[in-house]
């Protein structure tokens, strides 16, 4: 139960426990990008306050446009700006970008390969506001769209780096946003974000965690907990869902065929599906457990309540690893 005095709809502070935090890493990074590139434009659909873009608005008022609550038009305007040589970054929530403006993204951005960056807040269970606001199937929708680059960053370090990288990349991008006070999980000195590259954050031989977005915070925690019990767990962080780093994924599965995928998203059409597709296509056999949102719209509620309810918390990841460890070893494919 929520404590009296606690509201559940907004904010992600519960995600940040135990890590240093950075405030509005996307907005700060966009200001830097805007300084270097005068073609960068900031756009929002009445969610400037809630998508961390206000620092850009303050730094470059003449390059910032709030188009009102009109997501289809947001994408249309961005595509038009891109066609005149600008680099529009537009912000809204995952649900409104993908569900409402899907056709506009498909035609105006992806099919035409216009240089539009869509930055989408409230991915998965980062809001307690219920089914209308939780972006639970956006990765599946966006991954299915040709020509689009799809990114689900883990933390403040990755958001800042990815913002700079996608500004330099010429083509349409959909990136999930973590907003407000965002934890720093990846070391900004050693970590290097590249489009289409997965990163092995931890070596291991018994089980392999393959995770994306904020779930990598939790797979790292799960791996550390398992290590205390003598279980060696690898963590591969796949922040670009498309293009998908098949090579890194396959080489890990070959070595460690007991796999747990973890994503802040339904377990169909996102990371788990991408991993299963890659393994099947390559003829690799594996034991796979999928941690993620089951096939349902989720309740309203506080974030820890939701993470537990839908088995997305660290404890559920550890439990999934133990289940996979108990299963029969993977046999080589039967010869027909």
Ligand X SMILES: Cc1ncc(C[n+]2csc(CCOP(=O)(O)OP(=O)(O)O)c2C)c(N)n1
| Closest to 206 in 3D by CA, of 280, 260, 135 | 260
Instruction: Specify which residues 119 forms β-bridges with.
Output: 91, 175
Residue 58 sits in the site that holds ligand X (CB under 6 A): no
C-beta separation of 295 from 265 below 8 A: no
Candidates 132, 205, 280, 323: give the one binding other proteins (CB under 8 A): 132
C-beta separation of 145 from 116 below 8 A: no
What is d(CA 254, CA 316) in angstroms, rounded to the nearest whole number? 25
Residue 121 binding target from other proteins, ligand X, none, CB below 5 to 8 Å by type: none
What is d(CA 236, CA 261) in angstroms, rounded to the nearest whole number? 9
Residue 68 sits in the site that holds other proteins (CB under 8 A): yes
* Beta-carbon-side half-sphere exposure of residue 125 (alpha carbons within 13 Å): 28
Residue 232 sits in the site that holds other proteins (CB under 8 A): no
Shortest Å distance, C-beta 56 to ligand X: 18
The interface region with other proteins, picked from 93-101, 222-230, 262-270, 325-333 by CB under 8 A, is: 93-101
Nearer CB in complex with ligand X: 69/296: 69
What is d(CA 265, CA 292) in angstroms, rounded to the nearest whole number? 6
Instruction: Enumerate helices (H) and strands (E) in the chain, giving the number of each.
Output: 12, 14
What is d(CA 271, CA 274) in angstroms, rounded to the nearest whole number? 5
Residue 69 sits in the site that holds ligand X (CB under 6 A): yes
Q: Give the x-and-dash track for 279-318 against other proteins (CB under 8 A).
A: --------------------xxxx--x-------------
Nearer CB in complex with other proteins: 172/301: 301
Nearer CB in complex with other proteins: 6/84: 6
Closest-by-Cβ residue to ligand X is: 46
Q: Give the x-and-dash track for 30-49 against ligand X (CB under 6 A).
A: ----------------xx--
What is d(CA 31, CA 7) in angstroms, rounded to the nearest whole number? 31
Interface residues toward ligand X, by CB under 6 A:
46-47, 69, 96, 100
């Amino acid at each position: 139960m929520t404590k009296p005095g606690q509201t559940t709809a907004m904010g992600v502070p519960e995600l940040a426990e135990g890590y240093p935090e950075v405030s509005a890493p996307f907005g700060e990074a966009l200001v830097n990008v805007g300084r270097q590139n005068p073609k960068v434009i900031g756009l929002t659909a009445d969610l400037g306050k809630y998508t961390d873009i206000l620092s850009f608005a303050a730094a470059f008022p003449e390059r910032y446009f709030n188009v009102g609550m009109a997501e289809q038009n947001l994408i249309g305007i961005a595509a038009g700006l891109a066609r005149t040589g600008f680099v529009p970054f537009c912000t809204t929530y995952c649900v409104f970008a993908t569900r409402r403006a899907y056709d506009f993204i498909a035609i105006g951005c992806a099919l035409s390969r216009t240089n539009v960056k869509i930055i989408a807040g409230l991915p998965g269970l980062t809001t307690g506001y219920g089914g209308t606001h939780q972006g639970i199937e956006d990765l599946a929708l966006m991954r299915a769209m040709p020509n689009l680059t799809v990114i689900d960053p883990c933390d403040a370090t990755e958001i800042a780096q990815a913002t700079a990288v996608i500004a330099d990349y010429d083509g349409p991008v959909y990136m999930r946003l973590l907003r407000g006070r965002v934890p720093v999980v990846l070391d900004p000195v050693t970590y290097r974000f590249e489009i289409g590259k997965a990163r092995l954050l931890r070596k291991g031989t018994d089980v392999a965690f393959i995770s994306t977005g904020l779930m990598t915070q939790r797979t790292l925690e799960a791996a550390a907990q398992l290590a205390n019990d003598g279980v060696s767990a690898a963590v591969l962080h796949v922040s670009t869902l498309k293009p998908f780093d098949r090579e890194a994924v396959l080489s890990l599965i070959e070595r460690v065929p007991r796999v747990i995928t973890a994503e802040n998203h339904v377990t169909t059409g996102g990371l788990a599906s991408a991993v299963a597709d890659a393994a099947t296509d390559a003829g690799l056999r594996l034991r796979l457990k999928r941690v993620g949102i089951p096939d349902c719209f989720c309740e309203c509620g506080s974030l820890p309540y939701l993470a537990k309810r839908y088995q997305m918390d660290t404890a559920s990841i550890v439990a999934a690893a133990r289940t996979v460890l108990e299963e029969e070893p993977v046999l080589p494919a039967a010869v027909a």
